[in-house]
Structure 1
Amino acid sequence: MPGKAAHRATRGQEIETVLRRYIRSPYCIGTALALALFVTFFVPGGLLMDVPLWQRAAIHLFDTVIFLGHSYVVLPRAFRLALDRGWPVLGVHVAVYLPLALILAAAFALVETQALSGIEFLWDTCIIVSWVVLSAVIGLFLFWVVFLPYTGIDVTPDQIWSFRRDQGCRLQEHLSPEVRGRVLHILAENQYVRVITEAGEELIRMTLSEAAALVPEDAGLRVHRSHWVARDRVAGFQFERGNPKLTTIDGARIPVSRKRVDAVRRLLSLRET
């Protein structure tokens, strides 16, 4: 029987890859630098108002670099966990930045007053936390609603604020106990589908659409009207005499519908990034 694959491409992993690409893009870095200039010159909430302009600019440039580095290292992994486990993304997004915001508030208070107590420290903390939360909400909205759709990843806005518990693979209920296991491949055979798992295979009476609906959304993709394949089973893709086909990790060749070609290519390109 086929063994477990070393790589399992889930929806969370795809978004993790796209988010890292976005954070290191000139668009994201340029936006972060523009915000640093805005805070330097307009001093929202009087933050560091008594500090000379050149010093204020240096401080905000430094904290922008810290935020970008923190975003690149921590945020994509947090998004992956949120998507894979059904956590509300907005709460995770804000939680990732709050500790850093509190550290910056303490640093700014030391620069301004050389103390970590008093009304100045509380005010700086409120201003920085509010700014960070607002930036996180705006950034998440732009990434989720504007940027992600252009990557071709199907997302819905409800997980931004709602918790969705993982329902698991409900197809297991229709399989005999001895063949239950992670689903690798489903293929249609007239009024039946053949379900291939890590433990074996079984023929059950249902349509491919019905069977695919019982498997977690990020576990695989339907590549043809007669084939559903686990994401981590896809090893390659090419045209054979004009017909698109994918190769699985065990060497099987599976036809791909032309309308599914972009989805398969996107999956492979995300792994290579």
Structure 2
Amino acid sequence: MQSLNEIKSILSESHTVDALKSFITTYESDERAGVRKLTDTAGKRIDSIEKELARLKEMRKFENENRQFGLLCGIDEVGRGPLAGPVYAAAVILPEDVDILYINDSKKLSEKKREELYSEIMEKAVAVGIGHVSEKRIDEINILQATYEAMTMAVSELSVKPGALLIDAVHIPQLDAYKQISIIKGDAKSASIAAASIIAKVTRDRVMKQYAEEYPEYGFDSNKGYGSKDHIEAIKKYGPCPIHRRSFIGNFI
């Protein structure tokens, strides 16, 4: 007879609905209280996964409605609001029926979950493009135009050409050659845009952590360049560093 620890190990390795159902079928006749508890846990996990799959089905609504355009690319940006650092954008083409559990607007996810999803998206995506525009360029042309540039760069970095772009709430003039579908709050409604938001967020956060090593007094590893109280106090105390956006921090220096 298998020990409880052996059965726990099998449950820990059961990640899909089919695997969990097989687990229940195998052990539901075992009368040990500990095993019954494990089969109950497996049932709860099935319910959770099925709810998540239903949510993901809804997140593919815009993709399914626009399949006539061919490959669909989600685009999103991160870093429009910070006082320091670049703005980043990502363009992501996902396979038609891919399921990436818990994909969502990056702002709704923990850092750990974003990192996990980043790896899964990079592994499963048909193509990923990343673009960024420096703080100096932001000061030159303003943040909106810099965002468009970053998004355009991200699309240009794709290894395959999409048939249409799904974009969070904006229209990109530089990409008028493409069919553009603007979705308000798209990072919470479209799996492709959500994937792009995660790629852009994780990429920029990693860059800001590197800057934190170079300019430790500003706390970029925690605030990522946004205007936290400690960050603003550091600007007043030390003045701006080379990656501060001069057009954003005029009131603080």
Q: What TM-score, normalized by structure 1, do the two folds share?
A: 0.31
Larger of the two Rg values belongs to structure: 1
Which of 1 and 2 has higher RCO (CA within 8 Å, sep 6+)?
2
